[in-house]
Structure 1
Amino acid sequence: MTQLTARTSAPPAVMAVVAVGVLLSGFDLFIVNVALGDIAVSLGVDDLSDLSWILNAYAITFAALLVPAGRVSDLIGSKRGFLAGLLVFTAASAACALTSDLGALVGFRVLQAAGAALMIPSSLGLVLAAFPAESRSGAVRLWAGLGGIGAALGPVAGGVLVQADWRWVFLVNVPLGLAAAFVGWRVLPVTAGHPGTRPGLGGAALLVVTVAALVLLLVEGPEWGWTSSRTLAVGTVVALGLVLNAAAVTRAAAPIVTPALLRTPHFAAMSVTLLAFHVAFGAMLLSVVLWLQDVWDLSALRTGLAIAPGPLLVPFVAVYGGRLIAVIGPRAVIALGSGVFTAGVASWALLAGPSTAYAASILPGMLLTGISVGLVVPPAMALGTSQLPPPQHGTGSAVLQTARQVGIAIGVAVVVAVLTAGPPGAEAFATAWWTTAAFALLAAATTFTRSAR
């Protein structure tokens, strides 16, 4: 069992500190989007492909470093990992706000993502350590539900802060991060590290390169063209990396992801479920933003407000969904949630039109998708981590998070491919939403795979 030197730490206090870190990292996946126009004017950048790296650098680095960072958390202890990640993230946020050069801003976004990657697996390790076994599943569901608040408030907060200055989307992280670090040093439980056999640097680097190349391929493939030389080159790196990583898992003396971890009950099945569901989630989020801004011509702030009702439901559904889990079981709840998601995006395909009202067409699906995320992600994370041994809390949670990030990247690529395949308009969006619904149904099907039992 994980050893605590401060078992008297109150679980609510631990959750409060962890929540700040999770929310800050989630904000920066969403809050910067609405500031891109102002950043472009301020820095004198007019090339959208260059500007997009403010977003892409964070997404690629975050996904690529999650698993190595999770292993680091297991080696040094969750408290040290969380606080180190939080301080790196906070310092990088301040640097982002102070820079006047695009290249430097992208570099500091990479550093920001590295801090977030260390912070997130460590945060779940702290939750698993601080809560007793009988309430751990509910705590993990709440932890997972925090992402919904970040998704809901990120665009709205970004729209408000940009009215003052785009630099505030980064500066807002500084006082919150410092306060959380100070309180966290005092209240977070001190978890012992599990040195074990340290993975080789070569294996860690191989995994980082493979995940980074995969996300890069998904992010830039639509822009480069799927048959371009750059796309094919990166695709070759991904294919070779997947083969070498598979060989490392089965044959290396100290793989970063061990076969024992993959054989943990529920873990592999929930990884696949989260991957499939987040393909649908990433596709849904991008498609509805594009619809609201490009078809209905809403401002960034109004778009954020239009999206917010769904994600705001996530933490409430995550907490109270435990009652439903007790009745029908977690796998049935996850499948139900995937079905609700399917109904939500299908309603857009059937109801949304260039002249339809928000309340009659988009809002019902927004609420349904918010409910579904609360029914799927928290219990899937709780089930996936339920049998993890303490020495692999960080690594295991990082693998699940990586599945989510890669799924979102795939979903974005799918929507871009569908919307650019034919003439733009309502029919193209309907096709994208039916495709999204199909991935949600796939997530429901994976829930009942044999390895989930």
Structure 2
Amino acid sequence: MAEPTTAPSKYRAIVLTACGGTFLAMLDSTVTNLAVPDLQRAFPSASVPDLSWVISGYAVMFAALLAPAGRLADALGRRKVFAVGVGLFTLASLLCALAPSLPTLVIARFLQGAGAAAMIPASLAILLLDGPAERRPQSIALWSTASAVAAALGPAVGGVLVEQFGWQSVFLINLPLGLIVIAATLRVVPKPESSTRGALPDMVGTGLVAIGVGGLTLAVSEGASWGWLDVRTLASAVIGVAALAFAVFRSRSHPTPAIETSLWGNRTFAATNIVSLFYGMAQYAWMLGSVLYLTEIWGYGELLAGVANTPGAFAASVAALGLARVAGKIGGPRTAVIGGLIAFTACGLWFTFGLIDHAAFLTFWLPAALLAGAGMGAATMGTSAAAAMSAPPTRFASSSGLNTTARQFGGALGIAMMAVVLQQSTGIDGTRDVDAYSNMFLFCTLMMIAALVVAVGWLKFPAPAAAPTTDVPAAAKAKG
């Protein structure tokens, strides 16, 4: 490791750069949630399902390209892929703000999602490989904190910007931040030696992975509005499954596979991704469902509902950073994941059986938000650490891309299932009561319990993979 990289000032600059990109990407996954009413006024001829593509278009491309982007970052270089991703994201943000029509806006959101997908795995690889090895647990915690806090703050930031400046502002805010991150990347992130770069992954397989994950995410995202037996839903699902199956088949024998199938031979990596899938189902359904509960049951405005979720974001950051300091002494990522899921599950049980029909922020919502936020921060940090530490350094970007894909796809699936649960509990007049949201939080709790069972039964603390020559399957067998 080069000495300038290990200097404290250099490390801080790298952390701010990589986490800044992560923050932007995850913020835009939720910041537009409260912009839909203003978008409806701007495009009055558009239907609600059409407007929903402003949100789902980003999510579909984000999930579809995370794994391929991770492979490209390992092959082409994390610095290059990160800089290109931030550049595309920033340019797409400008196109979003200037969009004269809804179709143009949706296309720009697709481009934004593609840029964000490139940023996420490359940013973690930068932190882990361009920072000192002894600080990797702290780097993972900071990266996880930026991710969790951005997703949690999205509704609040979106609510403030939309109310004060209109829907365009949620995209314009990305322009100065994106330019700063690009400049910082070119200045502080070192250029990797050409010898460290690998051959390009199988491009056919890479395309199949993107089509497969994108098709499945599209099916679960739009199934509730299209209809689960609608030809569009079924076609998306069938194409997604077929593309992924073919990609896996090609990857098993290809010299530069699109999917690192060897990573799945590592028990820790496989278990971490299963945990992330169930955890994502609970987390994203919880965040959206909480806003709906506050607006429909407590009568909060959209802005106030978003702000009410900020204590949870604060708790998430404190939990992630605090656990990073002591995780090595109390059992590592496994303890963080299990402890976070227990706290999150406890809050889920509280909401399932003790939900109230009147506003009580200080006595009910605040303590619950702090408990849930702490659980999310610990679980996000723990799963990110377990996924990264169960892979050798040459595959850090690939492992983080696959793990984030699992959580994002889980989030899309969780939101779709949450919509079904709420729809079944909706009255004839279209209103929902406390029981409807109790059922929704019960669904989230069951997903947390599923994640907890997998974590307790199969997730083991991986030994840090410090040498690029480490054989992943052999390491997995030694750990088993």
Q: How far did 1:4 drift? A: 5.8
The equivalent residue for 1:364 is 367
1:337 to 335, 340, 357: 340
- For 1:52-91, what per-residue CA distance to the aligned partner results, in whole angstroms no more than 9, with x for missing partners? 1001100000000111111111122111111111111111
Given that 1:76 and 1:192 are in contact with CA atoms closer than 8 Å, whether structure 2 keeps it comes out as no
Structure 1, unaligned stretches of length 5 or more?
none
1:420 to 419, 423, 438: 423
- 2 CA distance for matches of 1:400 and 1:133? 21
Q: How far did 1:94 drift? A: 0.9
Q: How far did 1:138 drift? A: 1.5
Q: How far did 1:323 drift? A: 4.3
The equivalent residue for 1:187 is 188
The equivalent residue for 1:129 is 129
The equivalent residue for 2:311 is 309
2:395 to 368, 392, 397: 392
Given that 2:148 and 2:380 are in contact with CA atoms closer than 8 Å, whether structure 1 keeps it comes out as no
Q: How far did 1:152 drift? A: 3.3
Segment drifting more, 221-230 vs 51-60: 221-230
Given that 2:72 and 2:201 are in contact with CA atoms closer than 8 Å, whether structure 1 keeps it comes out as no
| Aligned AA (1:243) | A
The equivalent residue for 1:62 is 62
| Aligned AA (2:235) | A
Given that 2:138 and 2:325 are in contact with CA atoms closer than 8 Å, whether structure 1 keeps it comes out as no
- 1 CA distance for matches of 2:2 and 2:405? 27
TM-score using structure 1 length: 0.94
Given that 2:202 and 2:254 are in contact with CA atoms closer than 8 Å, whether structure 1 keeps it comes out as no
- 1 CA distance for matches of 2:88 and 2:245? 33
- 2 CA distance for matches of 1:56 and 1:40? 16
- For 1:91-113, what per-residue CA distance to the aligned partner results, in whole angstroms no more than 9, with x for missing partners? 11111111111111111111111
The equivalent residue for 2:448 is 440
| Aligned AA (1:373) | M
Q: How far did 1:451 drift? A: 5.9
The DSSP-based 3-state class of the residue aligned with 1:309 is: helix
Q: How far did 1:14 drift? A: 0.3
Q: How far did 1:169 drift? A: 0.9
| Aligned AA (2:203) | L
- 2 CA distance for matches of 1:383 and 1:236? 31
| Aligned AA (2:441) | W
Counterparts in 2 of 1:428 and 1:8: CA distance versus 1, 3 Å: closer
Given that 1:17 and 1:180 are in contact with CA atoms closer than 8 Å, whether structure 2 keeps it comes out as yes
- For 1:151-195, what per-residue CA distance to the aligned partner results, in whole angstroms no more than 9, with x for missing partners? 233222222221122211111111111122112211112224654
The equivalent residue for 2:120 is 120
| Aligned AA (1:88) | L
Query: Does residue 36 of the first structure (1) align with residue 39 of the second (2)?
Result: no
Counterparts in 2 of 1:244 and 1:438: CA distance versus 1, 3 Å: same
Given that 1:74 and 1:394 are in contact with CA atoms closer than 8 Å, whether structure 2 keeps it comes out as yes
**Map of 1:347-362 to 2, 5 A cutoff?**
347-362=350-365
The equivalent residue for 1:262 is 264
- 1 CA distance for matches of 2:145 and 2:302? 24
The equivalent residue for 1:161 is 161
Given that 1:94 and 1:171 are in contact with CA atoms closer than 8 Å, whether structure 2 keeps it comes out as yes
Q: How far did 1:389 drift? A: 2.2
The equivalent residue for 1:322 is 324
Q: How far did 1:265 drift? A: 6.0
What RMSD, in angstroms, separates the aligned Cα atoms of the two structures?
1.9
The equivalent residue for 2:284 is 282
Structure 2, unaligned stretches of length 5 or more?
427-431, 462-480
Query: Does residue 376 of the first structure (1) align with residue 379 of the second (2)?
Result: yes
| Aligned AA (2:12) | P
- 2 CA distance for matches of 1:165 and 1:243? 44
Segment drifting more, 361-370 vs 205-214: 361-370
The equivalent residue for 1:174 is 175
Q: How far did 1:21 drift? A: 0.9
| Aligned AA (1:348) | F
Q: How far did 1:5 drift? A: 9.6
- 2 CA distance for matches of 1:190 and 1:368? 42
| Aligned AA (2:166) | D
The equivalent residue for 2:106 is 106
| Aligned AA (1:346) | L
Counterparts in 2 of 1:153 and 1:201: CA distance versus 1, 3 Å: same
| Aligned AA (2:448) | A
Given that 1:4 and 1:189 are in contact with CA atoms closer than 8 Å, whether structure 2 keeps it comes out as no
- 1 CA distance for matches of 2:408 and 2:319? 22
Q: How far did 1:301 drift? A: 0.8
Given that 1:352 and 1:362 are in contact with CA atoms closer than 8 Å, whether structure 2 keeps it comes out as no
- 2 CA distance for matches of 1:254 and 1:130? 24
- 2 CA distance for matches of 1:85 and 1:323? 31
- 1 CA distance for matches of 2:187 and 2:236? 45
- 2 CA distance for matches of 1:207 and 1:378? 26
- 1 CA distance for matches of 2:89 and 2:357? 41
- For 1:241-268, what per-residue CA distance to the aligned partner results, in whole angstroms no more than 9, with x for missing partners? 3432332332444321122222346222
